[in-house]
Structure 1
Amino acid sequence: MIWNLIYRSLRQHALSTLVTAGSIALAAGLLLTVWVVKTQSQAVFSSTTSGFDAVLGARGSKLQLVLNAIFHLEASPGNLPAADVAAISRHPAIKAAIPIAVGDNFQGWRIVGTTPAYFDVEYLPGRKYAFASGGKLFADGTREAVVGAYAAKQLGWKTGDTFQPYHGLAFDPQAQHEEVYTVVGVLAPTGTPADRVIWIPLAGVQTMGGHDPRAAADVSAVLIQLRAPTAGLMLDMMLNKQGNKMTFAYPIGAIVADLFNKISWVDKVLTLLAWLVALVASASVLVSIYNSMSARQRDIAILRALGARRRTVFGAIVGEAAVIGLLGSVTGLAVFVGFAAVVTGIIQAQTGVVLEPLKWNPVFWWGPLTFVGLCMLGGLVPAVKAYRVPVAETIAPVS
């Protein structure tokens, strides 16, 4: 009997039901998006190391070094002399030391110089860089380039295309170099910051026309692979605490995680706003049903007169609120897919990192259940009012 009452009430008040469920769907979609993007971003960014354990650079901020060398978002704090790079490369604790140089762009897309050894590293466990059909790696000493998948797609580049770099990390149409580079390969998508980069031989950046010839052998940073985790602590002591020339950023994941901890207040504000929207949406259930109680009182009194118990009427109102919450929550999953697609697209465009918003997250079960529960709480007030409807007075004809 309760389900029949719920169905009839929802059908009779279809417009208010749809509007209320729609507000809940928006609130649910917002909450799910904030929660999933927050948790996934922290996990994915903290695990994005491009296959390296540490970054060595000029004296400065560890975070700046990591953002520059791993995520290609920051400027270099300075250059490392070739002698220092050679010395650190020979250290017995270091398995591999791959230099990079930055300082040029093409229409805002960063150009990074490195050695072919960079592409031999597993950027994720068990995954190495690969090329789209017909592509190959550039050769040292040539004016050849390898382009990340996302950059190539946005620029419309393919193997055989040519371009002229621009000086600086910010695009200036007046700062074009004379050198012409040929694209010899497009990387297969990796879902990492490498997808947004144009890669050229290290010497290409070092000796580009207009660059200081005195710094022709310098590099912006050195990407480090260690032979053992304990080596990182030893080098941290030697270079950061005892030395004063270089900065050793280790471990990369912890440095990125610290950044998220520093800006955690942003996540908290967004989550708080999402919960406030959820509460407002749940309150709309209370208002919607409560405002319709005046029109329902006679129907409720007739039902009571026909034998319906108070608890049946009470349960029907609370059940109606729960169904509205369930409809809104289910629709909210579709809203979340739309919101998440936009947000992850922006993150990929800005960082190259690809999130997987549809990957299972516990919020997918407790989020909708929470909304249903809030809606049921909102339905308690009109349910109590329905419970207290006086049968005789309500049915009695008005003279």
Structure 2
Amino acid sequence: MSLFRLTLRNVLHRRFLSLLTVCAVAITVSFIVLLSLSRDSVEEGAKKGYGPFDLVIGAEGSETQLVLNTFYHIGAPTGNIPLAVLDQVGLDSGVDKAYAMTTGDNYNGFPVVGIDPGYFMTRYGDRKLQEGAIYAHTGETIVGSYVAQTLGLKIGDTFTGAHGLVQEESLAGEEIEHDDFEDSAAVEHEHEDEVAGEEHDHKSFLYTVVGILPTLYSPDDRAVFTTVDYAWAVHNLAEEEREITAVLVKPNSLLGAHNLKQTLDGSNGVQAAYTSKAVSDVLNAVDQGSRLIGVLTALCILLAAISILLSLIAAVGERTKDVGLLRLLGKSRAYVWMTLTTEGLLITATGLIVGLLLGHLGAFLLKDAFFSQAGIQIDPYHWTTNHGWIVLGTLCIGLFSSLGPAFRMYRLHPLALFKS
């Protein structure tokens, strides 16, 4: 009987224990693969998220919040700034391109973003639309590929938006003091009137889909784009009341970005933020969370190694007489040693293959949920050098876990093995 066939029969003889060991290895590998794919996707998505716009100008507040809302369509904007800021930026000699952005509304949870059509040429080059044409008039929209796919939108469809970037829910279970009841009721009544007015404004303003963007593999896939003046049209704002949410700036040089930041930052409630710095802060926060996950991963690896070790120790205890008989029949110590190490590697390799498949399957199942929440896509078909290290590390763990029990059998005399 060949070495591989003997090893396979030994593994199948202890089906339950072998299955538990394979599961331990598979779960550990799949967790590491999913973590690796997620980390690579976050880093790649963060780099692609803001394109050539190294500077963003908005209302004072958190720089991270401003950048996440502007480029990744996450969270609420920090506020509005005067429209005159756009003119001031446009006159700066250090600016190559500058585009105003207005946000604050949504359609079925997807943000409605008002921005000049030139943004797409600057950001993505001369890529053609999947269908239709770019918007030219107030109320016309182009939608991201993910939005079109999720909501089933096509050219010519019409819809109305809603105020806010997320669906607002009333707080339940709050206790109101009796003395403040009248004031609270008055505020609530005023808020209801305001909300009712906003809902009426939004219901009366109709959007028309005139184009669908190609798949861009960026947060823009999950946004609805229209003209900058949509917010002013929805709320019937006079010219002196018009404001914008942010200005996206592509500077001529880093020096130009620095000078513009020095000029605008902190003046009249306006802030200028370096996009790359804000994104780096977010990635640093993610890395800190990854360290904790890394500790949990190390524990999983340790448990998988212990599982392999215990499985082989149990095999040694069960097959002491069998190994002794093999030695008396003339099989060498090396053959006995290879039998046990091959068994450990076979179990490990099986768990490794299953784990790789499960990890990529998990990425496939989670990609839509991850993209809808963070605007970053996980590529379940992506293979990197990390996979090679995962394969090599897993096989090494299986080999090292096999050495102890195999060496124990290797050292004993065949008569001692048989008598025991």
Check whether the contact 2:70–2:246 (CA below 8 A) recurs between aligned residues.
yes
- Structure 1 residues 179 and 225: CA distance shift in structure 2, 3 A: same
Q: Does 1:139 align with 2:136?
A: yes
Q: How far apart are residue 77 of structure 1 and its match?
A: 1.1
Indicate the residue corresponding to 1:249 in structure 2: 273
Give deviations 1:229-277, integer Å, cap 9, x for gaps: 321222233333x746421122x23321221112322111122212211
The 2-side partners of 1:337 and 1:41 are apart by 16
Unaligned runs of 5+ in 2: 170-195
Unaligned runs of 5+ in 1: none
Check whether the contact 1:104–1:165 (CA below 8 A) recurs between aligned residues.
yes
The 2-side partners of 1:334 and 1:14 are apart by 21
User: What does residue range 111-122 of structure 1 map to in structure 2 within 5 Å?
Assistant: 111-122=112-123
Aligned length: 389
User: What does residue range 380-391 of structure 1 map to in structure 2 within 5 Å?
Assistant: 380-391=403-414
Q: Does 1:158 align with 2:158?
A: no
User: What does residue range 1-399 of structure 1 map to in structure 2 within 5 Å?
Assistant: 2-3=3-4, 5-123=6-124, 127-133=125-131, 135-140=132-137, 142-171=138-167, 175=199, 177=202, 178-209=204-235, 213=238, 216-240=241-265, 243=267, 245-250=269-274, 252-396=275-419
Q: Which amino acid aligns with 2:300?
A: V
Q: How far apart are residue 220 of structure 1 and its match?
A: 0.2
Check whether the contact 1:114–1:201 (CA below 8 A) recurs between aligned residues.
yes
Q: Which amino acid aligns with 1:10?
A: V
The 1-side partners of 2:240 and 2:147 are apart by 28
TM-score (normalizing by structure 2): 0.85
Q: How far apart are residue 390 of structure 1 and its match?
A: 4.6
- Structure 1 residues 104 and 69: CA distance shift in structure 2, 3 A: same
The 2-side partners of 1:106 and 1:44 are apart by 24
Structure 1 stretches of 4+ moved >6 Å: none
Give deviations 1:45-104, integer Å, cap 9, x for gaps: 133214422211122222111111111112121211122221111111111111010111
Q: How far apart are residue 28 of structure 1 and its match?
A: 0.6
Check whether the contact 1:103–1:167 (CA below 8 A) recurs between aligned residues.
yes
Check whether the contact 1:196–1:351 (CA below 8 A) recurs between aligned residues.
no
Give deviations 1:324-372, integer Å, cap 9, x for gaps: 1122112221111112213332221223332334333221111111111
The 2-side partners of 1:348 and 1:394 are apart by 59
Check whether the contact 1:282–1:371 (CA below 8 A) recurs between aligned residues.
no
The 2-side partners of 1:108 and 1:345 are apart by 15
Q: How far apart are residue 107 of structure 1 and its match?
A: 2.2
Q: How far apart are residue 143 of structure 1 and its match?
A: 1.8
Q: How far apart are residue 161 of structure 1 and its match?
A: 0.9
Give deviations 1:297-332, integer Å, cap 9, x for gaps: 111001111222333312321222122112211222
The 2-side partners of 1:93 and 1:163 are apart by 40
Check whether the contact 1:129–1:190 (CA below 8 A) recurs between aligned residues.
no
Percent of aligned pairs with the same amino acid? 27
The 2-side partners of 1:4 and 1:83 are apart by 80
Q: Which amino acid aligns with 1:263?
A: V
Q: Which amino acid aligns with 1:78?
A: G
The 2-side partners of 1:157 and 1:13 are apart by 55
Q: Which amino acid aligns with 1:368?
A: V
Pick which of 222-231 and 3-12 moved more. Answer: 3-12
Q: How far apart are residue 41 of structure 1 and its match?
A: 1.2
TM-score (normalizing by structure 1): 0.90
Check whether the contact 1:112–1:200 (CA below 8 A) recurs between aligned residues.
yes
Check whether the contact 1:300–1:389 (CA below 8 A) recurs between aligned residues.
no
The 2-side partners of 1:290 and 1:172 are apart by 59
Q: How far apart are residue 393 of structure 1 and its match?
A: 4.3
Check whether the contact 2:37–2:378 (CA below 8 A) recurs between aligned residues.
no
Q: Secondary structure at the match of 2:141?
A: strand
